[in-house]
Structure 1
């Protein structure tokens, strides 16, 4: 196997393109782009911070899958750089959601629970589908792990959105929506930290930090 490595080590060579993984990424990209548009409109119409936050998350994931497709088959250094970029953007998204949540708390916005519930269920089904497709591809370099982490966080976030819809309906206040949006912000920031740490480790070690697939 060593004979197939370049002089600088195997980690810097171009890996073979995983065609199955590429097809999964294309499907996930289409699903997330579509759900971004749905939740963007629904979140604004319902006045829901958690739906708007989830819409931005769908947009970030669509970009995530697009970048992953772009660097698929490239050398590890480029995949690690792409993962670092995605980690930083995920962290920015988390901070934006935190700011939007704080604004809704100050304004005491009460969203429409029915819209939250219907759209939240649709988003949950979409994210569970993506997470199931990506589960077998969750191990490997930082770029692959970033895709799985985002998909996993989305499914968790949608369960929380549904819980928030029930809370808003039951209490008649916007606080459940605010709490859930805060949780989603925390998930984004913690996922960003995990992705950034591994991508930086891969850039420092030249691939030694990549777990076995």
Structure 2
């Protein structure tokens, strides 16, 4: 995915003001952070590994959109530090969900199906709204806003998978569908945290290289 350059044929005709971009991604970050806590509380209450793992997606989206917000105003060195902090922030609940999956494997009791469906349904709504908001700016903020839109859109599919898993749980009366789906989401989220860390590391190296060039000049 490439970022359009000024004057290129792929550049949007109507540019969006920076404050509009920042307000949009900050709103999306707030929605994701708020629903992160909803999913965490419900997941712990009903013992759902998949829901706990999915809550990390909301934290990841919070981090990504905050990084976009900061990228429009912070120097690259500070963005790199913020990126690494957010990668660690994503990793902590992901590892907690992984531990929950391992612990629950010894006693695979099924989670409350109704609470699972209602919470995952709410997640579909939140991610759908975020995807709609980001769709309006995805061509105006470079590759990061485009990626944020795609992540929000794909998260809707994950939420629908959880609802489908709830149906399987109800049918089988087993907690294993929840554990298996939760483990899959955990692996994906650990990979996402790794990618955020790597991007932040690259930005940090670029900042050092730029500082060295300025000193030589």
Q: Could you tell me how far 1:205 is from its partner in structure 2?
A: 2.6
DSSP 3-state at the match of 1:107:
coil
The TM-score with structure 1 as length reference comes to 0.73
Q: Could you tell me how far 1:147 is from its partner in structure 2?
A: 5.3
Worse-superposed segment, 151-160 or 125-134: 151-160
Q: Could you tell me how far 1:70 is from its partner in structure 2?
A: 5.3
Distance in 1 separating the partners of 2:199 and 2:41: 35
Contact 1:110 1:174 survives alignment (8 Å): yes
Q: Could you tell me how far 1:24 is from its partner in structure 2?
A: 1.2
Q: Could you tell me how far 1:61 is from its partner in structure 2?
A: 4.3
What's the C-alpha RMSD, in Å, of the aligned pairs? Answer: 3.0
Q: Could you tell me how far 1:188 is from its partner in structure 2?
A: 0.7
**5+ residue gaps in structure 1?**
1-16, 209-213
Distance in 2 separating the partners of 1:100 and 1:149: 28
In the alignment, structure 1 residue 195 sits paired with structure 2 residue 196? yes
Distance in 2 separating the partners of 1:149 and 1:100: 28
**5+ residue gaps in structure 2?**
1-16, 210-217
How big is each residue's C-alpha offset from its partner over 1:6-37, in whole Å with a ceiling of 9 and x where there is no partner?
A: xxxxxxxxxxx821221112321332233234
Q: Residues 71-110 of structure 1 correspond to what in structure 2 (within 5 A)?
A: 72-110=72-110
Q: Could you tell me how far 1:49 is from its partner in structure 2?
A: 1.8
Q: Could you tell me how far 1:112 is from its partner in structure 2?
A: 1.2
Q: Residues 40-189 of structure 1 correspond to what in structure 2 (within 5 A)?
A: 40-59=40-59, 61-62=61-62, 65=65, 69=69, 72-135=72-135, 136=138, 139-140=142-143, 151=152, 154-189=155-190
How big is each residue's C-alpha offset from its partner over 1:130-177, in whole Å with a ceiling of 9 and x where there is no partner?
A: 134335167446xx6885686466434323312221221121101111
Q: Could you tell me how far 1:100 is from its partner in structure 2?
A: 1.0
